[in-house]
């Protein structure tokens, strides 16, 4: 799975990248919102993890740009400056999940995997690529799974 991490805290980001690489993820790190948007304009990613407060363009603005560049890219917002207002603002731009620093590594990995799984299921439903010809039984199962993901993560259609 190919991840894009955007955070201005370089030491923290380097640690996360090394740790995630050990777990089999391919990680591209950028240290500013502008750099992250530039990289996303040239490469496709499966999941993005975006810091909320950065110099230059902040995480909310980054999410806006990422949504324009890669509409199906789920963004996990990771911040040390969490607030309800910020979470709600991020939610407007389809933030998959809002996590506070310091984040538990297992929680981060679970959230990344859930974001990726949600994206895959959404793409299958959108494209009809569930492998069925008639689509009745499998569409029903996928629809139920999609509904469970939406309910679990508070994501609307």
Q: Which CATH class is domain 2-153?
A: alpha beta
- Per the model's pLDDT, the better-predicted residue between 10 and 153 turns out to be 10
Question: What phi and psi values does residue 132 have, to the nearest 5 degrees?
Answer: -100, 150
The yes-or-no verdict on residue 133 having pLDDT over 70 is: no
54 to each of 8, 32, 39, how far by Cα in Å? Answer: 6, 7, 17
Beta bridge partner(s), residue 26 = 2
Query: What number is the average pLDDT over the span 38-45?
Result: 97
Please, are residues 115 and 2 in contact by the beta-carbon 8 Å criterion? no
Residue 59 has pLDDT above 70, yes or no: yes
Which of left, alpha, beta for 135 (phi over 0: left; psi -120 to 50: alpha)?
left
Which has the higher per-residue pLDDT, 61 or 142? 61
Give the pLDDT confidence score for residue 52 in this predicted structure: 86
Chain segment 63-121, per-residue pLDDT in tens: 999 999 999 999 998 877 655 565 555 555 568 888 888 889 999 999 999 999 999 99
Can you give the residue ranges of every domain in the chain? Answer: 2-153
Determine contact, residues 40/4, Cβ cutoff 8 Å: yes
> Per-residue b/e over 91-115, b at no fewer than 16 CB within 10 Å?
bebbbbbbbeeebeeeebeebbebb
pLDDT at position 100: 84
Nearest to 78 by CA among 57, 56, 48, 38: 48
């Amino acid at each position: 799975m190919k991840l894009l991490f955007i955070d201005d805290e370089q030491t923290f980001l380097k640690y996360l990248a090394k740790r995630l690489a050990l777990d089999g993820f391919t990680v591209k790190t950028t240290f500013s919102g502008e750099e992250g948007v530039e990289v996303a304009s040239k490469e496709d990613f499966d999941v993005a993890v975006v810091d909320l407060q950065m110099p230059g363009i902040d995480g909310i603005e980054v999410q806006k740009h990422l949504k324009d560049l890669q509409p199906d890219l789920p963004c996990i917002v990771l911040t040390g400056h969490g607030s309800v207002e910020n979470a709600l603002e991020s939610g407007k731009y389809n933030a998959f999940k809002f996590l506070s620093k310091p984040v538990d590594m297992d929680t981060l990995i679970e959230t990344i995997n859930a974001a990726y799984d949600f994206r895959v299921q959404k793409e299958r439903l959108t494209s009809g690529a569930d492998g069925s010809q008639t689509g009745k039984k499998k569409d029903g199962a996928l629809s139920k799974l999609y509904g469970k993901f939406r309910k679990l993560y508070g994501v609307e259609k």
